[in-house]
Amino acid sequence: MSGKVRIVDTTMRDGSHAVSHQYSIEDITRISSALDKAGVYGIEISHGDGLAGSSIQYGWATHTDEERLKAASRVVSKSRITVLLLPGIGTREDLKMAIENGAKIARIATHVTEADISEQHIRLAKDMGLEVMTFLMLAHMEKAEKVLEQAKLMEGYGADVVYVVDSAGAMLPDDVKKRVGLLKNKLDVEVGFHAHNNLGLAIGNTVAAVKEGATAVDGTLGGLGAGAGNAPTEVLTAVFDKMGYETGVDLYKIMDAAEDIVRPLMQRPQVIDKSSLILGYAGVYSSFLLHTYRAVERFDVEPRDVLVELGRRKVVGGQEDMIIDVAYELSQKRVLEGGDNEGRVDQNRQDRG
Amino acid sequence: MGGDKIDVAIIGPGNIGSDLLYKILRRSKYMTAKLMVGIYPDSEGLKRAKSLGIEATSEGIEAIRGRGIRIAFDATSAAAHLKNAPILEEENIVAIDLTPAAIGPYVCPVVNLEGHFDRPNINLITCGGQATIPLVFAVSSVCTVRYAEIVATIASKSAGPGTRQNIDEFTQTTARGIEKVGGAEKGKAIIILNPAEPPIIMRNTIYTLVDHIQKDRIAHSITSMIERVQEYVPGYRLRLGPIFEDNKVTTMIEVEGAGDFLPAYAGNLDIETAAAVAIGENVAKRMVKAGGGG
């Protein structure tokens, strides 16, 4: 095996969920500088839910996207500053602001079946000279053929790379191979992969994706991220080095960045606890985890029950308000039935067929 | 036709136009659906209108002239409405605009129709705006709303190509409507498309941040506003709340459509056509009372 793999580090975007979007400007500066020196291809900086994600629905960030981008721009020289935008949340105005503040890569993300809402944003980013990577999120929910159909739309709008995004950390290596492999065969543009570690497969799945031909992959320092976290950038660097792939990332520098800068910022250990495991098992958007913890406190219900019910209702990314709805409904049900909820997980498994 | 009903036209024989037609035929007291205007002779919508006994033309907006039409519903696109609007004004026809063109003022029938009866052109904001602005207004009419944020979740199948190709228009227009009509100092709108099968009913969450929270007054205002919206959208229902946390008020509603022409899950489209017809009905009623029937 040999070839090049580009690593986009998303510690300051997807990782931002795990610190409830509370990075200080000093954190942003230190992490950006360390990533730039280590040589990652892209450094993604945005609210966890993309530009303009700071809200009641997704959580307020300490600083605006603009303030964070400005701070990063001051210290980044080699790597490309990257932003995420979810059509329906952010707009082209937000994208223009990011470009004015140094963004070189735009990542435009939609649910796996909704690629056609991304056209105006992809075209704007291309017209303004950016590299465009697009995301098909919760890609485990659809078969490979459907993922391809949607990927082709994004390719047609001008995407340079189309990512298969395992937002729920629900894919097994074979699921990754089918989707990435089909896209690699049928698209003219590059294929990327974004993992979550809810089933402990973030690294394994990313390796599977690269073996199928993915050439852009995402990681975060120390695996910091939504749910059980992302593929740790430093581990990806080591693994690809051993496999003979060139990433351009300095292993010692990236390990130091994870250990010395990011690990001390972690508000909770980045492990597969029972709730994160359920995200992967039930196929629920990883960033729902911390919102669920907050909701269960208010309504006194079991987080696993909430997550399983969200999976059963097939909620998609962005529907954080449904967490309150489900938690409330479960709390009412418990009052009515007066019983506990044991065995619900097994029932759900049957439902999912 | 005698002096008791006003002749109206629908421009754009697509799903929205057809739903408008059904609503007017089935329930209107003051409007007679006289004409359906399209541009494609093979249009299913024009055929449908004809089969319902309505005159249908594929000759475009010019065909509306000289027929005594007093009100026209425009369910085309923003670009088309910009061309249609001057012709309607020339003909002294009140335009009720369901496109994002927004030539006329934003109107939500339960909030600000009173001030806009005499306008030649009235704009419907967005579907998300029609579903959520009444509740922002319900809160802002009893206390100061510093910030209002709405999340509209709709079935993928209910989002047409117009919405999909210009989703920014939805978020930006709805946010402006929350401020201008809803009365929030700052507004934000988020839209989510959910492809689940069977299709989900439109869901909306309305968050407001307020000064000097008065729980009882807010709760009462929300309840009575929901009842008022139910007069033209019976499937407009409270799901949860209002929940009060510090200075934050959270309310969740769902909107089930009447299922006239559009499917019942598409409450987002139904609330817009229902609001348009409610506005038309009020405008027509005033015309009738002024003695100007068809």
How much is the pLDDT for B78?
A: 87
Cis status of the peptide bond prior to B134, with omega within 30 of 0: no
Chain B nearest CA to A210, separation (Å): 29
| Per-residue pLDDT at A344 exceeds 50 | no
In A, minimum Cα distance to B209 occurs at A56
What is the arithmetic mean of pLDDT over A170-182? Answer: 97
Q: Which residues of B fall within a CB distance of 8 Å from A322?
A: 153, 203
How much is the pLDDT for B115?
A: 82
Q: Which pair of structure tokens corresponds to residue A239?
A: 């693994």
How much is the pLDDT for A177?
A: 98
A91–B168 C-beta distance less than 8 A: yes
Q: B248 at the A interface (CB within 8 A)?
A: yes
How much is the pLDDT for B290?
A: 84
Q: A114 at the B interface (CB within 8 A)?
A: yes
Mutate to test the interface with A, among B188, B193, B203, B239 (most CBs of A within 10 A): B193
**Rg (alpha carbons) of chain B, rounded to whole number:** 19
B194–A316 C-beta distance less than 8 A: yes
Catalytic residue status for B127:
yes
A316–B240 C-beta distance less than 8 A: no
| Per-residue pLDDT at A259 exceeds 90 | yes
Q: How confident is the model at residue B141 (pLDDT cuts 50, 70, 90)?
A: very high
* Inter-residue contact B97 to B103 (CB < 8 Å): yes
Place of tokens 């949607």: A150
- B7-63 pLDDT, tens digit per residue, is 999 999 999 999 999 999 999 999 999 999 999 999 999 999 999 999 999 999 999
Measured CA to CA, the distance from residue B89 to residue B101 in angstroms comes to 15
How much is the pLDDT for B293?
A: 53
| Per-residue pLDDT at A2 exceeds 80 | no
Distances (CA, A) of A113 to A52, A118, A149, B10, B195: 22, 11, 9, 33, 7
Amino acid occupying residue A153 = L
| Per-residue pLDDT at A124 exceeds 80 | yes
Segment 142-201 of chain A within 8 Å of chain B by CB: none
- A50-92 pLDDT, tens digit per residue, is 999 999 999 999 999 999 999 999 999 999 999 999 999 999 9
**What's the DSSP call for residue B116?**
G
The full length of chain B comes to 294
Sheet with strand B145-155: strands edge to edge: B186-194, B145-155, B202-210, B248-255, B236-245
CB atoms within 10 A of CB B185: 14
Q: Where are the domains of chain B?
A: 6-124+272-289, 127-264
B190–A57 C-beta distance less than 8 A: yes
How much is the pLDDT for A36?
A: 98
**Nearest by CB: B195 against A57, A114, A313:** A114
In three state form, how does the secondary structure of chain A look? Answer: CCEECEEEEEEECCHHHHHCCCCCHHHHHHHHHHHHHHCCCEEEECCCCCCCCCECCCECCCCCHHHHHHHHHHHCCCCEEEEEECECCECHHHHHHHHHCCCCEEEEEEECCCHHHCHHHHHHHHHCCCEEEEEEECHHHCCHHHHHHHHHHHHHHCCCEEEEECCCCCCCHHHHHHHHHHHHHHCCCEEEEECCCCCCCHHHHHHHHHHCCCCEEEEEHHHCCCCCCCCEHHHHHHHHHHHCEECCCCHHHHHHHHHHHHHHHCCCCCCCCHHHHHHHHHCCCCCHHHHHHHHHHHHCCCHHHHHHHHHHCCCCCCCCHHHHHHHHHHHHHHHHHCCCCCCHHHHHHHHHC
Q: How are beta strands A216-219 and B248-255 bridged, if at all?
A: unpaired
Mutate to test the interface with A, among B157, B167, B169, B240 (most CBs of A within 10 A): B167
What is the arithmetic mean of pLDDT over B78-103? Answer: 92
- B240-257 pLDDT, tens digit per residue, is 989 999 999 999 999 999
| Per-residue pLDDT at A346 exceeds 70 | no
In A, minimum Cα distance to B187 occurs at A55
Q: A92 at the B interface (CB within 8 A)?
A: yes
- A196-229 pLDDT, tens digit per residue, is 999 999 999 999 999 999 999 999 999 999 889 9
The segment with the largest mean pLDDT, out of B67-71, B162-166, B288-292, is B67-71
Amino acid occupying residue A109 = A
The correct CATH number of B6-124+272-289 out of 3.50.50.60, 2.40.128.20, 3.40.50.360, 3.40.50.720 is: 3.40.50.720
| Per-residue pLDDT at A345 exceeds 80 | no
**Fold agreement between B6-124+272-289 and B127-264:** no
Q: Under CATH, to which class is B127-264 assigned?
A: alpha beta
Q: How confident is the model at residue B149 (pLDDT cuts 50, 70, 90)?
A: very high
B193–A111 C-beta distance less than 8 A: yes
Chain A nearest CA to B113, separation (Å): 28
How large is the angle between the packed helices A65-75 and A25-38, nearest 10 degrees?
40
| Per-residue pLDDT at B175 exceeds 90 | yes
**What's the DSSP call for residue B71?**
E
Least confident window among A144-148, A209-213, B69-73, B97-101: B97-101
Measured CA to CA, the distance from residue A110 to residue A313 in angstroms comes to 19
Query: In this predicted model, which residue has the larger pLDDT, B163 or A138?
Result: A138
What is the arithmetic mean of pLDDT over A318-339? Answer: 83
How much is the pLDDT for A213?
A: 97
In B, minimum Cα distance to A93 occurs at B168
A324–B243 C-beta distance less than 8 A: yes
What is the arithmetic mean of pLDDT over A321-327? Answer: 91
Mutate to test the interface with B, among A60, A93, A117 (most CBs of B within 10 A): A117
How much is the pLDDT for A338?
A: 58
- Hey, what domains does chain A have and what are their CATH numbers? 3-265 (3.20.20.70), 287-352 (1.10.8.60)
Q: Which residues pair with A7 in a beta bridge?
A: A217
How much is the pLDDT for B188?
A: 97
| Per-residue pLDDT at A280 exceeds 80 | yes
What is the arithmetic mean of pLDDT over A309-337? Answer: 87
B167–A88 C-beta distance less than 8 A: yes
Q: A117 at the B interface (CB within 8 A)?
A: yes
Mean pLDDT of all residues belonging to chain B: 92
Cα end-to-end distance, chain B, whole Å: 6
| Per-residue pLDDT at A95 exceeds 80 | yes
B165–A119 C-beta distance less than 8 A: yes
CA dihedral over A86, A87, A89, A90, signed as positive or negative: positive
Q: B166 at the A interface (CB within 8 A)?
A: yes
